[in-house]
Structure 1
Amino acid sequence: MTPLLRVNDVAKAFGGNQVLHGVEFDIAPGEIVGLLGPNGSGKSTLLNTITGFEAIDRGQIAFEGRRIDQMPAHRIVAAGVGRTFQLPSMPRKMSVMEVAMAASTAHHGVWGTLLGTAASRQAEAAAHAKATALLEQLLLTHVRDLPAAALSGGQKKLLGIVCALMGDPRLLMLDEPTAGVHPNLRRDIVAALQRLNAQGMTLVIVEHDMHFIREVCTRCIVLDRGRIVASCRPDELASNEHVVRAYLGSVEPKAVEETL
């Protein structure tokens, strides 16, 4: 079976700082993969290279068998790869519904919207119905008319997921979706991601919360100083010597238990 995503020998440096060293892994359809590693391990850079926000220096990235590493970010979205951001920035003068609708622009085009053609009106109606359904699914219906910038941090992350889903991705990549989120909203995010996966969505999640990883992910890929040191089930993390050394620098059973 062709992997949904294949990362092959990917390297990336910023000046003299080599951040990624020949990173290789596959993601199969239907997986929920946690992308883990200590601060500075290269997780965000790897996410940015896959989604077109950073160019790679070497290697290949393929989605559904098609290379995407030379595509700009908007074409990668159109190919079926969506993403969210760790600290989503929301416009002050747009409502939650307007932000969700704006995320559908790639489908019907800016010029069609401005000219008001029949096709654009139909597309806008379809996008509105889709945004309405997604806001309901992500539990944001009650704030749909509020300014997006007025939402709590957790609600902004849910809205970020809505915006990503407006592009109909088959692979959704999330950057720390529960960091700094109230426990009640955290439960909502966990439930939403599990529902999306049950509907066929493949997920790759950058996250530090090990409880979240154990609750949601089916596999973990662990980076340390730009190299993959483990690919294993969440329940194998604490017993993996490479993972323990990446996080703690030494193998100390009590510290391992408390950290992982």
Structure 2
Amino acid sequence: MRAILEVRNLAKAFGAFQVLEDVAFQVQKGEIVGLLGPNGSGKSTLLNIISGFIAPDKGTVMLDGRDVTSVPTFRIVNEGLARTFQLPIMPQKMSVLEVAMAADTTMHGVLPTLFRGAGFCKAERDTRERAMQLLDELLLTRVMHLPASAISGGQKKLLGIVCALMARPRLLMLDEPTAGVHPNLRQDIVRALHRLNDQGMTLVIVEHDMHFIREACNRCIVLDQGHIVASCKPEELASNERVVQAYLGASVEEARAQIMQKEVA
């Protein structure tokens, strides 16, 4: 079966600092893959290269068999890959619902009527219905008429997921979706991601929170100092000496103790 995402020998340096070197991996359709590693390991740079925000120095990104290396971001979205951002910035004068509707990439040339007070055409009605459905699935219905800038940080992350889904992607990449999020909302995010996966969505989740990865993912790719040091199941992380040393700077026994403490809490 052809991988939905294949990364071949990517490398990227900023000046003398080599951020990524010979990074290669595949993501199969229907997987939930966690991409994790310590701060500075190259996770965000890798995500930015895959999603078209920066170009690699060398290497190839294949999306469902097509070369999308250094292709403009909007074309990558049209090819079926969407992403979220770690710190989503929302417009101050648009409601949550309006932001979701504005993210529909099929509405070019039609969407401005939303803000002129004109009646809805069929395309607009379809966009509104899809936005409201996604807001409901991501638990944002009760805030959909509030200014998008006024909702909580966790809700903004959920809205970011809604906006990405409005592009109808086949592959969704999430940049630290639970960083700074209240623990109760964190569980809602985990459940929402599993529902999306049950509907056929492939997910790649960039995270440094190993506990969240264990809850959400069925495979992990671990980066350290620009290199992949492991590709394994989440339950194997704590017994992988190279992962533990790179990610926690601790022994395997100490890592197990930390994970057990988090699970009990």
TM-score of the superposition, structure 2-length normalised? 0.92
User: How well do the aligned residues superpose, as a CA RMSD in angstroms?
Assistant: 1.6
1:190 aligned onto 2:203: no
- Conserved 8 A contact 1:35-1:220: yes
- Conserved 8 A contact 1:113-1:121: no
Structure 2: distance between partners of 1:249 and 1:99: 42
1:108 aligned onto 2:107: yes
Task: Give the letter for the 1:2 counterpart.
Answer: R
Structure 1: distance between partners of 2:38 and 2:169: 28
Relative to structure 1, the CA distance from residue 115 to residue 87 in structure 2 (aligned partners, 3 Å threshold; closer, same or farther) is closer
TM-score of the superposition, structure 1-length normalised? 0.94
Give deviations 1:33-87, integer Å, cap 9, x for gaps: 0001010000000000000111111010000000111211111111100111111
- The residue number in structure 1 matching 2:263 is none
Give deviations 1:226-260, integer Å, cap 9, x for gaps: 00000000010011111012124453522453168
- Conserved 8 A contact 1:153-1:180: yes
Relative to structure 1, the CA distance from residue 248 to residue 162 in structure 2 (aligned partners, 3 Å threshold; closer, same or farther) is closer
- Per the TM alignment, residue 114 of structure 1 is displaced from its structure 2 partner at its CA by 4.7
Return 5+ residue gaps in structure 2 as ranges: 115-119, 261-265
Task: Give the letter for the 1:31 counterpart.
Answer: E
Relative to structure 1, the CA distance from residue 251 to residue 115 in structure 2 (aligned partners, 3 Å threshold; closer, same or farther) is closer
Structure 1: distance between partners of 2:134 and 2:29: 22
SS at match of 1:154: helix
Task: Give the letter for the 2:73 counterpart.
Answer: A
1:163 aligned onto 2:142: no
Task: Give the letter for the 2:170 counterpart.
Answer: R
Task: Give the letter for the 1:211 counterpart.
Answer: H
- The residue number in structure 1 matching 2:10 is 10
Structure 1: distance between partners of 2:252 and 2:67: 42
- The residue number in structure 2 matching 1:218 is 218
Structure 1: distance between partners of 2:148 and 2:47: 25
1:124 aligned onto 2:137: no
Task: Give the letter for the 1:175 counterpart.
Answer: D
Structure 1: distance between partners of 2:70 and 2:255: 42
Task: Give the letter for the 2:174 counterpart.
Answer: L
**Matched length:** 255
- The residue number in structure 2 matching 1:93 is 93
The sequence identity of aligned pairs, in percent, is: 64
Return 5+ residue gaps in structure 1 as ranges: none
- The residue number in structure 2 matching 1:200 is 200
